[in-house]
Structure 1
């Protein structure tokens, strides 16, 4: 039986993935600054943000509790595609991703006491060319305004729009859960 952990994330998808993996957890979230230094390589940005989320939550807790935090970014070329600010922005983002390959990078940080384990996982996703009608249908029906890249792979757009995926599907949902389980199982303090 795995020990109970603290998930420092309000993402319903991360919550669902931990439930599917049957990891016992509590959710504690605190407001955190998600900015990062300009010089940071793109693949290090989600780890930097996840580390900050974990540290803020860990400050309030007993240090013998394990805190898990994660952050996901979508990258097209060398540009981070964030969460859309409104309907038009979501449509613009998805039209930009249409017919293109992009990377989804999730940074994971686990902290217990003074010990930390941090890593990132990268998945490449390629969309079929999408029509404006498909994109606007998806945005209007699913309202992906809280999602990096303006989409959730497990929703309609992923089912009809994804041409290929290379890497961990669940990483695109927000947590490379099999890698997290392996780390939790093998991590010695």
Structure 2
């Protein structure tokens, strides 16, 4: 992928960093504080893309010949958007909400390059089996999933024992739809 311009990953997510490494993409990390609030009338897909674009706008004046990659992942269950939990108790409550249900994981992505915003998203359906309180408490106390939308990581213990199946992109659930990202980056090169 030498034809792709240099990439700035505007994310502290170790999962997104690892996915880019696995894709053999060189990048550097630059972080900026961005208010992640959004209008209440947006769909989950619009919300994820809105926040990803908002994160990219923080870079618009300072970056010219590099691609700024921003993303936002949300979990939607029954019309309710679950972001990142703030406490272990909130994480356990989110997992109880997801237990035994199907939910959608939406990742919005923005590629900012030469003041142009390339926006896209991906949606995956995740089927959780019914989790016991013991399983939920073990997971939230051992893995501390406070940096994950919906309070879980598909690649961690709870995903391994609790997810029956997914429809859609696995990497989208991890936090970055790599298949779509690759196609979009090829267009920039």
Give the TM interval when normalised to the shorter protein: over 0.9
Aligned partner of 1:110 in structure 2 is 111
Return the alpha-carbon distance in structure 2 between the equivalents of residues 38 and 128 of structure 1.
Answer: 30
Return the alpha-carbon distance in structure 1 between the equivalents of residues 73 and 8 of structure 2.
Answer: 18
**TM-score when scaled to structure 2?**
0.95
What is the CA distance between 1:150 and its match in structure 2? 0.4
Runs (4+) of structure 1 exceeding 2 A deviation are 57-61
1:35 aligns to 2:37 (yes or no): yes
In the alignment, is the contact (CA less than 8 A) between 1:29 and 1:57 conserved in 2?
no
Deviates more, 1:179-188 or 1:98-107: 179-188
RMSD of aligned Cα (Å): 1.1
In the alignment, is the contact (CA less than 8 A) between 1:28 and 1:57 conserved in 2?
no
**TM-score when scaled to structure 1?**
0.95
Any idea what SS the aligned residue of 2:33 has? coil
Aligned partner of 2:95 in structure 1 is 94
In the alignment, is the contact (CA less than 8 A) between 1:53 and 1:69 conserved in 2?
yes
Structure 1 unaligned residues grouped into runs of 5+? none
What is the CA distance between 1:172 and its match in structure 2? 0.6
Of residues 8, 33, 42, the one that matches 1:6 is 8
Return the alpha-carbon distance in structure 2 between the equivalents of residues 57 and 22 of structure 1.
Answer: 24
Structure 2 unaligned residues grouped into runs of 5+? none
Aligned partner of 1:165 in structure 2 is 166
What is the CA distance between 1:126 and its match in structure 2? 0.7
